[in-house]
Structure 1
Amino acid sequence: MKQLASRLRRLDDALADLPLEEPMLLTELDGFLTGISVCPEAILPAEWLQGVWGSDDSGVAPFDDPLDVQWFADAVMARHAEIVRDLARGKLRPIFDVDERNGDVLWELWVDGFAEAMALRPDGWDAVANGDDRDAAAALESLSRLIAIARNESPLDSMEINAFEDRATTDLVDGVQRLHTARSRRQPDSPAQTIGATSAKIGRNDPCPCGSGKKSKRCCG
């Protein structure tokens, strides 16, 4: 992984400390947030944050101190907002881990996080795959192929897989940018903007959108 800003290093440490059997790595979180950002349907933070910290059906975050909930939610939301800005500029900058032994980019972890985000709205992604926007469908097909390779579920032979792996990081960035462009054509008000507008209307006595289970005024509000 390239040198990270201190806020991202702190977030990486916080993810590792979550009381989960297999917490997300930072690169997985980055792929997950990117998938949320280009999802064809809006997903509120109260829902997808639970996927990050692995809360149970109660939706309560696994932190004892409300300040920890607020810091963690703010840090994740800040990275999400950064991804949205980069996509709007056409300059997506994924956070990939790198194998220190040979310098290989471990893109598989990132794309697995992206796939987890896709699993939140399978019908929406099916609509993209079968829709009239052929460029979006082709971009999704490219990403789905890489997801299958990363999960050892690809029907391709080894030579074909090697060819796709050689250009995986380029294809990932290109595919995600094309999906972002297609979604912008369909929805001038992007899901990210909708999320922001919805969150801004939450009352102080309403449940906090971070998913902590506390009232907004006693948590992130």
Structure 2
Amino acid sequence: MTENFRPLTDEDINRLDELLATSNSGDDTFDVSMLDGFLSAIALLNPPLKEESEWYPYIFNEEGSDCEVDEPETVKRLVTQRLQEIRAFQAQRQFYNPIIFPLEDENGEPVTGADGIAALEPWAMGFYNALAQYSDRVDVTEAIEAQLCRIHRFLELDESDPDYEQNMAIRAAVEKEHPVRNLEEGMLEMMKGVIEIARLNLPNKPVSRTTPKVGRNDPCPCGSGKKYKNCCGKNA
């Protein structure tokens, strides 16, 4: 398999988020963080979805019905580009930066510490949306279930759910085993789960690179501006 991709820039991400907000499906359409979680789960499916029509319409509403959005060709290009990027990282079993918007307080300052971890919820929602829709394409063994818990922990639980108490007990066990103190640690915890699921659920095919292997002191290919060893390769 040959992977050739260009990571989305911050400008691309912000533009995509703006364009998704123009959808005539309103709040039913993912924001870019939910979209990123959705695409991350789509990339994990086995067998993969071969046709774009099998997943793309569900970005805009849960029925997958027709939807109008500004600059539809730009939206499709950026979405496809991000999916290619995610698939390349997953195939190489390398960490990548999930698209997360840190929370801000009433003064516009970033929310830090444990309170900031709530910013991961939209990404986790998008991820589980795809898993629920294509559950037949992920073999949820005990090993995969353990990794899914590392992502599920960031969802808001519904107290009216009959399994609420059971889910809370599972969450408490996960948080005890894998504690996180802030948003950055939460992002790393999610990515550990994603990459391990990729290892377990996707066939281990050799990757033919069209670009040289990223060195630990090279700029990270995610476009963050950091060295690879201090960014996506931090725990690789």
Fold shared per TM-score above 0.5 = yes
Contact map agreement 2:60 2:67 (CA 8 A) in 1: yes
Residue 98 of structure 2 corresponds to residue 94 of structure 1? yes
CA positional deviation for 1:160: 5.5
Q: Which residue does the alignment assign to 1:72?
A: 75
CA positional deviation for 1:55: 7.8
Distance across 1 between alignment mates of 2:98 and 2:156: 16
Contact map agreement 1:111 1:150 (CA 8 A) in 2: no
| TM-score, length of structure 2 as denominator length | 0.63
Structure 2 unaligned blocks of 5 or more: 1-8, 106-110, 159-163, 208-236
Q: Which residue does the alignment assign to 2:21?
A: 16
Q: Which residue does the alignment assign to 2:228?
A: none
Q: Which has the higher helix share?
A: 1
Structure 1 unaligned blocks of 5 or more: 191-221
Contact map agreement 1:92 1:177 (CA 8 A) in 2: no
Q: Which residue does the alignment assign to 1:204?
A: none
Distance across 1 between alignment mates of 2:120 and 2:129: 15
CA positional deviation for 1:36: 0.5
Q: CA RMSD in A?
A: 2.9
**SS where residue 129 of structure 1 aligns?**
coil
Q: 1:157 to 1:46 in 2, by over 3 A?
A: closer
Q: Which residue does the alignment assign to 1:206?
A: none
Q: Which residue does the alignment assign to 2:128?
A: 115
- State the identity %: 19
Residue 32 of structure 2 corresponds to residue 26 of structure 1? yes
CA positional deviation for 1:150: 2.6
Residue 196 of structure 2 corresponds to residue 178 of structure 1? yes
- Name segments (4+ residues, structure 1) moved above 6 Å: none
**1:27-71 residue CA offsets vs partner (Å, 9 max, x unmatched):** 1111011010112331232121111122856x53424x8xx3322
Distance across 2 between alignment mates of 1:42 and 1:107: 25
